Structure 1
Amino acid sequence: MDKTNENSAPSDATKESSPVPSQTEKGKIAANKDPNVVDWDGPDDPANPLNWPGWKTGINCLLISMSTFVTPLASSMFAPGVPTVMEDFQSDNDLLAAFVVSVYVLGFAAGPMAIAPLSEIYGRVPVYHVCNVGFIAFLVACALAPSLNSLIAFRFLCGLFGSCPITNGGGSIGDMVRQEKRGVAMSGFAMGPLLGPIIGPVAGGFLTAAKGWRWTFWVLAILGGVVAIAEVVLLSETYAPVLLNRKAKQLQKETGNMALRSKLDNGSTPRELFKHTILRPFRMLAFSPIIIITTIYIAVVYGYLYIMFTSVTEVFEETYGFSTQIVGLVFIGLGVGSVAGVVYFSMTSDPYIRKKLAEAAGEEIPTRVKPEFRLPAVLVGSVVMPAGFFVYGWTAQFHVHWIVPIIGTAIIGAGNMLNFMSVTVYLVDAFTIHAASALAANTVVRSVAGAVLPLCGLQMYAVLGLGWGNSLLGFIAIAGIPAVIGLMRKGEWLRTKYELKDV
């Protein structure tokens, strides 16, 4: 049985309102079930993050989105400086040259399986703060690295701590934003993991040329420090089980009644709670068909993005003769496409959810809006993304004017963002109170793909050429379309039939 949520199923209905009316002992103890059970003071309790004023929710969402921009920025901002790094450390190993970039993403894979459960035990905020310190510390270590091996190790540890906002951010937003408004709030969060690595090479190319590769890490440490300080001052705890537990402890002090307990606490010891919670992402990844399908699909999408990061520089330097500084600007195409994907998702997803809520309100017994209503944008993205690879690959193959393959990368960026955002919001809607664990399971596999696939990307292009190499990626993406359609049609059935009631 779930150690943090025995008395409530992980649904929006449970999480977004309290079905237990409050009564008078300081208005804080629900009495229609057990007078010792502490719940919110009714559905409009201002202490419930779902009822926070807009400015407070906005500040928290902004800080989380800033974090999810800075940590992925560190994954690729360093990339243009790799040739200089290899020269400084007197190495000509091409595999190490690729690995020193992608090892950061392996850190993204290692961190979430511990970070997400810890946030569901101790709360989101303490985990954010600890990981911010680790992230900044290892950025400084990277800037001072005395050898290539140490740089690789520090990059890995930097990625491990940097995975925190990507892992927990979706859960935090789900904690404080209701379903019908969640799509727009998640847009900023989802843009970070995609726009950060895209903007990184643009800034990194100019910074490396002007100041050297070590300065990329100093700049990132400064940015990370500014965000970390802002979070210490302004970030608020959002996780309901932790907030209700604090409320119960406060009431124990005020009333002297030590039997008071949170509605979401079943009395497990901290040891039992940690043991159960730390296994939650692994159980989801092993036994939830929804997690398995979405994870495999997003792993392919994310891996494709990092193949682009490793190949675009070489393609435009060798095919079109771009300089190190100018080639970074090519990534603007991916950025523009990603923004277009965000705009499309924001304009269509939440309005569609509100439409379904309005329809449900007219029913005699209103039904909760299905998380699967987030998935139509995935279908659009699954068609758009392979089209972009065909355009990019064949126009570069035949040396068509450089603007055309850049347009191809913009199409890829739009499809990538539609896929990524839709699946991320879908998992938050589907798993609500355990959204961080669901996103952790997803993040681990996609990060491994993002680290491993680029290692074979350049070899694939060397064997197949740019045209057929990118066409292969497009055909594999097309093969995933039936899975998307199947999830739209049978997703609810899979969720209910294979529900992990004891996660």
Structure 2
Amino acid sequence: MPETPFGSPARRSEIIELAALEGHDADVPSNVGFIEEHEKAHHRKHLPEAANSTDVDLEKDLEKNGDTASLSSEDDVAGEAAAEAEDPNVVWWDGPTDPENPLNWSFFKKWGTVGIVSALTFLTPLASSAFAPGVPEVMAEFHSTSQLLESFMVSVYVLGFAFGPLIFAPLSEMYGRLPIYHICNILFIIFTVAAAVSTNMSMFVVFRFFMGSAGGAPLALGGGTIADLISREQRGTAMAIWLLGPTMGPCIGPIIGGFLTQAKGWRWNFWLIAILTGGFACISFVLMRETSAPVILARKAKRLRKETGNPNLRSKLESKLSGKELFWLSIIRPTKMLTRSWICFLISLYVAITYAYLYILFTTFTSVFEQQYGFSGSVVGLSFLGLGIGSLSGQFVFTWAGNKTATKHIKAGDFKAEHRLEIMLPGGFFIPIGLFWYGWSVQAGVHWIVPILGTFFVGFGLLLTFMPANTYLVEVFTVHAASAMAANTVLRSIAASLLPLSSQQMYKALGYGWGNSLLGFVSLALIPIPFIFRKYGERIRKSSKAIA
């Protein structure tokens, strides 16, 4: 079997786990190796041939947790690894304490990098909603009365999240994570400043989209950076810190934005983001180093070829995929998994609609609490607190209950992918409860704390839907988990950017009570999905095929 950076054998599950964290499928090398497929043992030289092979040769039972004949068995991998170990041309770490290995970096160097990446991962989701309280000012300044644009200027940012990572992921495999961080930080700052100085609505919306595209880099690469640096035993703590960004950023943003808009105007929301990101970008230029093991070893092999004159030296983690193939698979695989796997499509649909509800609330909170409750421009940001506290609570409950459930079944020896859905079963009920509560309390005009308490349940249910769905996709698709999660990300980002466009018209036609009830009824209709997969998921996986 492949060896870990410390020389002990890498289990297949560890390779898959690392690949999922790094945002690529397990047939692309991570720092403990990769799982090779027999169909791809030969190296395809031309993209059209790769496309044909993807269409014909790579059909396999992806939903059977990767247990198919097309995947290399552990014995095969062990034999290949043993052959490589005897090959003097294979370049690997210089022992278990090699200082080039990011896992051997000093405590401060490792956790300093985690801190920088976590800060960037907090700032980019925060920017998605920070200026939401300033939307009325933007509309007035650009002389627009379009309700569609009023919603789209907020949600278009999330549309960028759908497309940016599809490009960044394969580029990071070819050139390393560090250049992508630096380039995307610079682009994010440029587009943020451009949004701040926009002179018309078209400019503003376009730059918001590009902000989201560049801002997706820390979200796409952060998990991989943590996996590069932190041992498996300590990784949970680092991941918990990193996940606070996408969990809390969108909810804290409007609180800051409300007071900043009132004091300095809407443009200062963007200036603040640009200043903070610029500070952390400068820190990253000085302190961050490349962490991707395949890239570090590839550079080491290149250096040794030059020093020794031996052209046959190669990295042990050298990928058999060309750059064109990486791009092809990163775009085509998720699309095929969405269209040819019922599990991937229905779970992603559930998450997409739920996630869209979050941005429907983001784009309408300002008008609701200003018009219905007379909140000032500064205080209106506090109306997002219910969502934020609910999301944070859901994060803690998922971590505790999910780990407890998995540990129990693993000890009993009967664990299967569907056990990841157990926390999702009750979690789905909180979203319609919260929507009914919020909508009818606003409609009735009761005290403002009542609808905010309702949004707590929406945020709580969102996390208990979103997190189990992702872990379930990893368990089901194993080797190709990253493609399944990419499919999930694309669908939910598109839904979150487009569905809110009709929210104002919906509330105008139905009122806040029936409008949110409509959303609640749709959410109720989706609740059976995890119940069906919890009971029949294993049978579905064994009888269906998806295309990689």
1:390 maps onto 2:417 in alignment: no
1:488 paired residue number:
534
1:258/1:376 CA distance change after superposition, 3 Å: farther
1:63 maps onto 2:116 in alignment: yes
1:74 paired residue number:
127
Q: Which amino acid is the alignment partner of residue 28 of structure 2? A: T
Deviation for aligned residue 1:307: 0.7
Query: Could you tell me whether the CA contact under 8 Å between 2:420 and 2:468 is conserved in 1?
Result: yes
1:8 maps onto 2:11 in alignment: no
1:495/1:171 CA distance change after superposition, 3 Å: farther
1:387/1:34 CA distance change after superposition, 3 Å: farther
2:450 paired residue number:
404
Deviates more, 1:35-44 or 1:311-320: 35-44
Deviation for aligned residue 1:340: 0.9
Deviation for aligned residue 1:229: 2.5
2:255 paired residue number:
202
Q: Which amino acid is the alignment partner of residue 422 of structure 1? A: P
Distance 1:46 1:356 in 2: 39
> After superposition, what is the alpha-carbon deviation per residue over 1:436-468, rounded to whole angstroms, capped at 9, x for unaligned?
544333222111111111111122222222222
Deviation for aligned residue 1:343: 1.6
Q: Which amino acid is the alignment partner of residue 362 of structure 2? A: F
Task: Determine helix, strand or coil for the equivalent of 1:258.
Answer: coil
Structure 1 residue corresponding to 2:519, chosen from 470, 473, 477: 473
1:299/1:22 CA distance change after superposition, 3 Å: closer
Taking structure 2 as the reference length, what is the TM-score of the superposition?
0.77
> After superposition, what is the alpha-carbon deviation per residue over 1:278-321, rounded to whole angstroms, capped at 9, x for unaligned?
53433443444443233212111110000111222222222222
Q: Which runs of 5+ in 2 are unaligned?
A: 1-24, 38-64
> After superposition, what is the alpha-carbon deviation per residue over 1:241-287, rounded to whole angstroms, capped at 9, x for unaligned?
43443344344345544323334435454444444445343344344
Deviation for aligned residue 1:186: 3.6
Deviation for aligned residue 1:106: 2.0
Query: Could you tell me whether the CA contact under 8 Å between 1:390 and 1:474 is conserved in 2?
Result: yes
Query: Could you tell me whether the CA contact under 8 Å between 2:26 and 2:480 is conserved in 1?
Result: no
Distance 2:171 2:197 in 1: 30
Query: Could you tell me whether the CA contact under 8 Å between 2:26 and 2:34 is conserved in 1?
Result: no
Query: Could you tell me whether the CA contact under 8 Å between 1:30 and 1:37 is conserved in 2?
Result: no
TM alignment of 1:152-301, pairs within 5 A? 152-174=205-227, 185-253=238-306, 255-265=308-318, 267-301=320-354
1:274/1:182 CA distance change after superposition, 3 Å: same
2:373 paired residue number:
320
Q: Which amino acid is the alignment partner of residue 35 of structure 2? A: S
Task: Determine helix, strand or coil for the equivalent of 2:295.
Answer: helix
Query: Could you tell me whether the CA contact under 8 Å between 1:118 and 1:278 is conserved in 2?
Result: no
Deviation for aligned residue 1:333: 1.2
Taking structure 1 as the reference length, what is the TM-score of the superposition?
0.83
Task: Determine helix, strand or coil for the equivalent of 1:90.
Answer: coil
Deviates more, 1:309-318 or 1:403-412: 309-318
Q: Which amino acid is the alignment partner of residue 203 of structure 2? A: S
1:119 maps onto 2:172 in alignment: yes
Distance 1:186 1:254 in 2: 39
Structure 2 residue corresponding to 1:334, chosen from 371, 374, 387: 387
> After superposition, what is the alpha-carbon deviation per residue over 1:467-497, rounded to whole angstroms, capped at 9, x for unaligned?
2222222222122222112333455566676
Distance 1:374 1:215 in 2: 43
Deviation for aligned residue 1:127: 1.6
Distance 2:341 2:262 in 1: 48
Task: Determine helix, strand or coil for the equivalent of 1:485.
Answer: helix
Deviation for aligned residue 1:196: 1.8
Q: Which amino acid is the alignment partner of residue 485 of structure 1? A: F
> After superposition, what is the alpha-carbon deviation per residue over 1:155-192, rounded to whole angstroms, capped at 9, x for unaligned?
11111111222233344445556777666544444432
- The CA RMSD measured in Å over matched residues stands at 3.8
Q: Which amino acid is the alignment partner of residue 211 of structure 1? A: K
1:447 maps onto 2:493 in alignment: yes
1:26 paired residue number:
none
Distance 1:58 1:491 in 2: 39
1:459 maps onto 2:505 in alignment: yes
1:270/1:92 CA distance change after superposition, 3 Å: closer
Give me the identity figure in percent: 49
Query: Could you tell me whether the CA contact under 8 Å between 1:186 and 1:421 is conserved in 2?
Result: no
Deviation for aligned residue 1:108: 2.0
Query: Could you tell me whether the CA contact under 8 Å between 1:68 and 1:193 is conserved in 2?
Result: yes
Q: Which runs of 5+ in 1 are unaligned?
A: 24-28, 361-366
Distance 1:179 1:3 in 2: 20
Task: Determine helix, strand or coil for the equivalent of 2:218.
Answer: helix
Distance 1:285 1:111 in 2: 19
Deviation for aligned residue 1:136: 0.5
2:3 paired residue number:
none
1:87 maps onto 2:140 in alignment: yes
Task: Determine helix, strand or coil for the equivalent of 2:203.
Answer: helix
Deviation for aligned residue 1:131: 1.0
1:44/1:469 CA distance change after superposition, 3 Å: farther
Q: Which amino acid is the alignment partner of residue 392 of structure 1? A: Y
Query: Could you tell me whether the CA contact under 8 Å between 2:192 and 2:274 is conserved in 1?
Result: yes
1:31/1:198 CA distance change after superposition, 3 Å: closer
Query: Could you tell me whether the CA contact under 8 Å between 2:149 and 2:501 is conserved in 1?
Result: no
Number of residue equivalences? 488
